[in-house]
Chain A
Amino acid sequence: MATINVDDREIKVKDGALLIEELLANGIEIPHFCYHPALGKDGNCRMCMVEIEGKKRPQIACDTPIKDGMIIRTKGENIQRVKRQILEMELINHPIDCPVCDQAGECSLQNYYMDVGLYESRLGTPKTRGKKHVDIGSNVVLDQERCVLCTRCVRFTKDITKTKELGVLNRTDHSVISIFPGRPLSNPYAMNVVDLCPVGALTSKDFRFNKRVWFLEPDDAICNGCSKGCSLHVDHHKAKYENDSIFRYRPRFNDKVNGYFICDAGRLSYKKQNTNRDSFAQIRGNESEYEYASGKLLRLLKRHHGKILFLLSPSLSLEEMVQVKKLSIAYDAKLSGYDVNEYDHNFGDDYLKCNDLSSNRRGFNLLNIDEKKENLEEFSKNIELAILIGRDDIQTIENYENIDVKVSINASMPQHSDLYDLYLPMLTHMSREGSFINIDGFLQFSKAHVEYALETKSLSQIIGIVLGDNIFTCKEVWEESLSDIIKDIKLENIQKKSCKMSNL
């Protein structure tokens, strides 16, 4: 522990740590381009200058180890002037095309310019031009003119993905970020460079010109692409006269699960969430009113009491699984979580991607829900009604001739909706709350509220209505049953951060 004095304020920090790390951790604003907590210091942008008493000249905060008793000034006339001069250097060849730049609104260069910028150009000679809107592969668009050469992207491909596709070419003001000829950016985490880039030099081709960032409303959720459950910001917006839709996912820092990054497959999985949100209730392939369809579900359950099979998806939230289990006890039904589709042997790697594509398979273990194939065959013998929840694999139950009635409760419309006697849409992952246990045993909470245009209920609401117990929200489910199963972790805790489960 060391004590340092920053702008006449005493703060306690870790001895020997980087100065910028501790200053940022204590909420002190230090402008910076090249430093990134995941990539470490580089010291090339010179933007993070601070005055340290005893030193002749201003020093960069990113490459200064902390010593006890340091006296630091981050504000003041002198340091302001230094920052202004560095920013003027960065902007000499910048095209200042903020109106067409997707980064505008979340651009470090723009923000620092508003704070300490010179506001007038002293440049008489023409600007050095670079290549603009170059597609460098993996959905990334490069604009060399906007680049401040912080080399975050280069260090990302060198240190994190170890694929080394990017580099800095040429010298002085002709220096540019570039790929090697014929070797495009190609790794499953490539689009993270878009988030890493502090300016608009690397932008996403997928998000390009779709929406200005200041319209977007970020929700904190977790990815449901695989069992890793990376933390996400879900950026959605409801434009006037249009439906609420998701425009992009961004990684949300979570030191326990995904750090600062997510994979490209997860990042682009928002599209599926957008298309799913226009499903309507169906009875034997014909459109039906939602109220009538959910009434029919109740009638079917009553008619086939004792001869019901629930097939659960391993991607349901813990709250939903508990509710389905309760429903199965009430109607004396069998419960199975057997699912082969949620597994892809070619998807996983040794970083963030997992072969298990379900988001909550460990919830089955916790709640003792069976997922063995043999048991499913055993269960299915005297079944008349099969209800598929959160899944659309009708082929799993096709061979059982005794199953007369097939029901699907799922977020996406079934591929062959005429094969089901009833299809009831439920809210998609990004429109409801829920807790999930990831592959490493971390209990996490996801909360995104992308609005629906059509009347649709969440699975908990559907079951709550059928059971008539008025338990609809996560909080109510936790109070009712989950807090007895998970004793050491509270809902309030996981709403703040992921917690490791001890009793798995």
Chain B
Amino acid sequence: MGIKIVPRYGQTLKEKLYLPAIVGGMKVTFSHFFENLKDTSKIETLCYPEQLPKDITPRYRGVHRLTKREDDTVKCVACFMCATACPAECIFIEAIEREDGVDEKMPKKFSIDLLECVFCGACVEACPCDAIRMDTGIFSFVKKKREDFVVNIDTLLSHKPMKGSN
């Protein structure tokens, strides 16, 4: 690997004075300030949570959901592919024998720690059964305790896909 020599800035008198740089920065700040003051409708911010974003598309990676089979049972077979692919190691699965004859294996426990999750979508990519998706469009989750952010299998199964996703 080659070595790149980075020039050192900040050694001239003009740079050591700081003031010219501050004036330059303020120029940008005030130009935006007066522009927005003239016409408030152009401001690119939302009064969240009264105003909600309108640009959440079906491709947006929201909170996960576990999909179901046609007979309304869990599709996941607890193969641990998502947990293996997860870079944050935030998926906790416990597998048990599935007794209803649909398949051999199913998750007894399937929890995702949303505080640890980086929403990269690797679990969705890794799933061989299309059992986990992130198309719920849920972008905000507010809880009172850390433990509440670990969402369990029932919550994940109850999440619905957002409108427009297939």
Contacts and interface: CB of A to CB of B under 8 A. Distances in A.
A98 B77 CA distance: 10
B84 A100 contact: no
Contacts of B105: 99-100, 209
B37 interface: no
B76 to A, nearest CB: 9
Contacts of A100: 77-79, 103-105
Nearest to B78: A209
A208 interface: yes
Interface string A60-73: 00000000000000
Interface string B72-94: 00000111110010000100100
A99 B96 contact: no
Main secondary structure of the interface of A (DSSP, over half): loop
B125 interface: no
Interface residues of A, number: 15
A210 B104 CA distance: 14
B45 to A, nearest CB: 38
Given A209-B78, A209-B96, A212-B80, A97 B104 contact: yes
Given A99-B128, A99-B129, A100-B77, A214 B84 contact: yes
Contacts of A133: 104
Main secondary structure of the interface of B (DSSP, over half): loop
A240 interface: yes
A475 B92 CA distance: 40
B79 A209 contact: no
A132 interface: yes
Contacts of B80: 212, 215
A478 B67 CA distance: 59
Interface in A187-228: 208-210, 212, 214-215
14 contacts: A99-B79, A100-B103, A100-B104, A133-B104, A208-B97, A209-B97, A209-B105, A210-B95, A212-B79, A212-B80, A212-B84, A214-B84, A215-B80, A240-B89
Given A98-B79, A104-B79, A214-B84, 8 more contacts: A99-B128, A99-B129, A100-B78, A100-B105, A208-B97, A209-B95, A209-B105, A212-B84
Closest 3 interchain pairs by CB?
A: A99-B79, A209-B95, A100-B105
